[in-house]
Amino acid sequence: MTSLTRRGALLGVGGALAMPHIARAQTTALKVSLNAPFDGSNAAFFLADQKGYYAKAGLQCQFDSSGGAVESSTRVGSGVYDFAFTDINVLTEFDARNPDHAASDVFMLYYRSPLCAISFRKAGITKPADLAGRTLGAAQTDGAYRLFPAFCKQTALDPGSVKWKTVDLRLRETLLLRGDVDAILGFDSTSYFNLVRAGAKPDDIAFLYYSDFGMPLYSNSLAASKKMIEGSPDVVKRFVAASAQGWRDAIADPLVAITALQKKDGLIDVKLEVDKLNWVIRKQIVTDESRAHGLGGVDPDRLARSLAIVKDAFDLPSVPSPGIVFNPGFLPPEDQRRLPA
């Protein structure tokens, strides 16, 4: 990484986790759904866990992998899970259709959406119109697939002109490698590193980002169930503070985060997962907005524009208020959310 150094990774640890020294009778057990299988994109949570940030906050977290944004959003929206690392746009759809169980995002992490169409350069897909007449591969549980109608509307692409092959999230890249599809939909880093791991040459991979075509979407963030927000607000604050510190540490030193991940899954490719985490940091987390205001918060005007896109994409009669979609009341102070210097 060039713009971020590794020094100062633990600045504010005491502040981020500073809580009254109250003897707790028992540790609060939490279920947390991640955004995907265990990988570099969620290694920060394992780093926070292994550094004891959750334990110091009186929390014991069970982190479970998922099949994508739809699954993780449904888990936290239903209340089966207490928290989720999930896509704010997919969660918004769940909330709109299930207002009595509306979960809320409480800490933003991905300031640039990674949603895109991924292809090999030889396919010549350089603009949305190039997708017409093509066959696309996608997982129905993935946010990129769910938001493709919005991408079509923004770019005047006829959705009926696209053919589909839908598969499990873990098989999506195989379709592209075998030539069964012309492009796949997904998160840039997930597909890129799966393709590289399978032998694809990095320079052969091309991306068509939704964010480059009129979709100013936020993406992955921490979401809390309605049950947690209404019944255990102090637990939400403690979980957010501990997670935020884990992410700051991971941004400052990705290798340490991947080492923590390796203790969870000894079969990972360490170099590849370090590269993946660096990718997420560089392309999704570190932006002008997060540099200016730190991690966690959102710009109200940008969020409102995003919600309008989501409403149209999912043909919703309405969406929850911005204060339900994103609840800023659990954010640590800004000085504890700054990107490492």
CA-based angle 73:74:76, to the nearest 5?
Answer: 65
Residue 10, pLDDT score: 33
What per-residue confidence (pLDDT) applies to 4? 34
Q: How many CB atoms lie within 10 A of CB 107?
A: 28
What are the per-10-residue average pLDDT scores of the chain (341 residues)? 35 40 69 94 97 98 93 96 95 95 97 96 98 96 86 94 93 96 95 94 97 93 98 98 98 98 95 96 97 96 93 89 95 94 79
Burial of 141 (0-12, 13-18, 19+ CB in 10 A): buried
The C-alpha angle 128, 220, 50, rounded to 5 degrees, equals: 140
Question: Beta strand 205-209 with 115-120: parallel, antiparallel or unpaired?
Answer: antiparallel
Return the number of other C-beta atoms located less than 10 Å from residue 315's C-beta: 8
Q: What share of the chain is helix, strand, coil (3-state, %, to 5)?
A: 50, 15, 35
- Taking a C-beta distance cutoff of 8 angstroms, is the pair 130, 158 a contact? no
Which pLDDT does position 18 carry in this prediction? Answer: 45
Q: Which residues pair with 184 in a beta bridge?
A: 118, 137
Residues 6 or more apart in contact with residue 292 via CB below 8 angstroms: none
Query: Is residue 212 within 8 Å of 115, Cβ to Cβ?
Result: no
Give the model's pLDDT for residue 20.
Answer: 41
Check: CB of residue 46 under 8 Å from CB of residue 17.
Answer: no
Residue 143, burial from CB neighbour count under 10 angstroms (0-12, 13-18, 19+): buried
pLDDT at 207: 98
SS3 167: coil
- All domains of the chain in start order, with CATH: 13-112+217-336 (3.40.190.10), 115-212 (3.40.190.10)
What is the pTM assigned to this prediction? 0.86
Q: Where do the H-state alpha helices sit in the chain?
A: 13-16, 43-50, 53-56, 69-78, 88-97, 143-146, 148-155, 172-178, 188-197, 226-231, 233-252, 254-264, 270-280, 288-293, 300-313, 322-325
The pLDDT, as a whole number, for residue 100 is 94
**Max Cα-Cα span within the chain:** 64
Residues 6+ apart with CB under 8 A from 139: 67, 68, 145, 166, 167, 168, 169, 172, 186
pLDDT of residue 312: 85
Structural contact between residues 31 and 64, judged by C-beta atoms closer than 8 angstroms:
yes
Cα 337 to Cα 341: distance, rounded to the nearest angstrom: 12
